[in-house]
Amino acid sequence: MDKGFSNDYILFIPKGTPQNKNLYLLVEPNNTGKTSDSIEVHRQYAIDLASVSSVGNNISTMLKIPLLVPVFPRPSSKPTVYTHALDRDVIMEKQSVLKRIDLQLIAMINDSRKILKSMNILVNEKIFMNGFSASATFTNRFSYLHPEIIKALAIGGFNGELMFPKEEVDGIKINYPIGIADFRKLFGKKFDLLSYKTIPQFIYMGKLDNNDAVQFDDAYSLKERQIINNHIGATVQKRYLECQKVYNSYNIKATFHNYENVGHWTTSEINLEVIKFFFAQMKL
């Protein structure tokens, strides 16, 4: 923990990564897809994500930029602590391994920057972030907590539910992770809307995607679920439409896509569009 993190991370450096050139580090949160008290289970999923098959690996390999994947646990012994989605339960955690994993991730980024520099691979102070499913939810929430370090992000398959940059919906107070009503209380700082609005975002859902974590206790509490279902949308696709309306009303720099004949998965077309999105941000 002397480096600021209690968990390991995977650093994937694709063949052909240029030296002595200002690059962006890509960060994709790990997503095991299940609980396990064995850290080796989570480590293996993170290794596969980083080096074998994922949107993040495709981006890293095609753009020749390094990829960092944290190895955060998602313990069966704490089934409602959904670390891989950065939910409210994990933000409230006091156990050192799980405490403020958003800050642990920043410490990992700083540590990896030193390792890369020792290899003459220079990365920008700001990062790219990518995520799908739970890791998309993590990325969305992390971007609210630390918008100042993100150059651009891409997310998909996130149950149609995005965090809102406001304190209430239909007169109902919305706390983290639905909204920002208790943001200062939880994080000791005001939500930085101005910085958040500078982040280019590529946000996508498949039109057949009905994978709905909102309805399960590990992802949301009963109170959170009722607010979302009653005031944002009771289905994935209705929710996604409402989120688009809210983000557009705040002039958030997000491009929304909805893909025909796609469920809770990505396709070569989606992967290519995400790669093109990040490539364009490298040129700015």
Paired with 155 in beta bridges are 131, 203
The number of beta carbons lying within 10 Å of the beta carbon of residue 40 is 9
Q: Could you report how far apart the first and last alpha carbons of the chain are, in Å?
A: 36
Domain that holds residue 20: 9-282
Pairwise CA distance, residues 266 & 269, whole Å: 8
Pairwise CA distance, residues 94 & 219, whole Å: 19
3 falls within a domain: no
pLDDT given for residue 124 in this prediction: 97
Whether pLDDT at 145 is above 70 = yes
pLDDT given for residue 1 in this prediction: 59
Peptide bond into 147 cis (omega under 30): no
Categorize the per-residue pLDDT at 110 as very low, low, confident or very high, splitting at 50, 70 and 90: very high
Nearest to 227 by CA among 163, 161, 183, 178: 178
Contacts of 78 (CB under 8 A, 6+ apart): 89, 98
Q: Find the radius of gyration of the CA atoms of the chain.
A: 18
Reported as a single tens digit per residue, the pLDDT across 225-258 is: 999 999 999 999 999 999 999 999 999 999 999 9
4 falls within a domain: no
Whether pLDDT at 284 is above 90 = no
Is residue 11 within 8 Å of 66, Cβ to Cβ? yes
149 falls within a domain: yes
pLDDT given for residue 26 in this prediction: 98
Reported as a single tens digit per residue, the pLDDT across 13-63 is: 999 999 999 999 999 999 999 999 999 999 999 999 999 878 999 999 999
Output the domain CATH number for residue 254: 3.40.50.1820
Pairwise CA distance, residues 157 & 211, whole Å: 8
pTM confidence score: 0.98
pLDDT given for residue 53 in this prediction: 77
270 falls within a domain: yes
1 falls within a domain: no
What is the count of structural domains for the chain? 1
2 falls within a domain: no
% of the chain residues with pLDDT over 70: 100
Q: Check residue 1 and report its DSSP letter.
A: -
Q: Find where tokens 């997000």 sit.
A: 254
The number of beta carbons lying within 10 Å of the beta carbon of residue 140 is 23
